[in-house]
């Protein structure tokens, strides 16, 4: 009987600990300004650094951009508490002269704040 009670208490403790655990995400910056870029020089890249600020593994479920000219790349493996990661964003200025602002929407497993929006902006100098 004591063994069953102890086993039940251990299982209950593990369940409560898992239920209370929560991943967290904190970006060092949420916006990046490329400044003026030359269309003829091609794609530009920025890496957004983030940290799992929670006490459970953090998983980026998806990352999507507001335009096909912008491509996000993110870690596929879960990040442990305290671990840092990088979300790489590539912008292709071809055929897009003038000012631009693009958003990247990140979906995570963070309770209560599953979505984060990042922004890139700048000015494309057209080829002449």
- What does the buried/exposed string (b/e) look like for 83-105 if buried means 16 or more CB atoms within 10 Å of the residue's CB? eebebebebbbeeeeeebebebe
Mean of pLDDT over the chain: 88
> 2-125 belongs to which CATH class?
mainly beta
How far apart, in whole angstroms, are the C-alpha atoms of residue 61 and residue 48? Answer: 16
Q: Mean of the pLDDT values across residues 41-54?
A: 97
How far apart, in whole angstroms, are the C-alpha atoms of residue 26 and residue 53? Answer: 6
Under DSSP, is residue 39 helix (H, G, I), strand (E, B) or coil?
helix
Domain ranges across the chain: 2-125
pTM of the predicted protein model: 0.81
CA distances from 121 to 1, 11, 13, 16, 25 (A): 66, 50, 48, 44, 22
Confidence of residue 21 (pLDDT cuts 50, 70, 90): confident
Q: At which residue do the structure tokens 């995570």 appear?
A: 108
């Amino acid at each position: 009987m004591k063994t069953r009670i102890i086993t039940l208490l251990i299982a209950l403790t593990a369940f409560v600990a898992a239920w209370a655990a929560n991943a967290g995400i904190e970006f060092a910056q949420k916006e990046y300004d490329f400044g003026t870029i030359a269309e003829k020089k091609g794609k530009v890249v920025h890496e957004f650094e983030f940290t799992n600020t929670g006490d459970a593994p953090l998983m980026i479920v998806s990352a999507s951009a507001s335009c096909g000219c912008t491509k996000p790349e993110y870690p596929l493996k879960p990040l442990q508490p305290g671990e840092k990661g990088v979300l790489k964003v590539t912008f292709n200025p071809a055929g897009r002269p003038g000012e631009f602002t693009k958003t990247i929407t990140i979906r995570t497993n963070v309770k209560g704040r599953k979505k984060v929006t990042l922004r890139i902006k700048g000015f494309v100098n057209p080829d002449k």
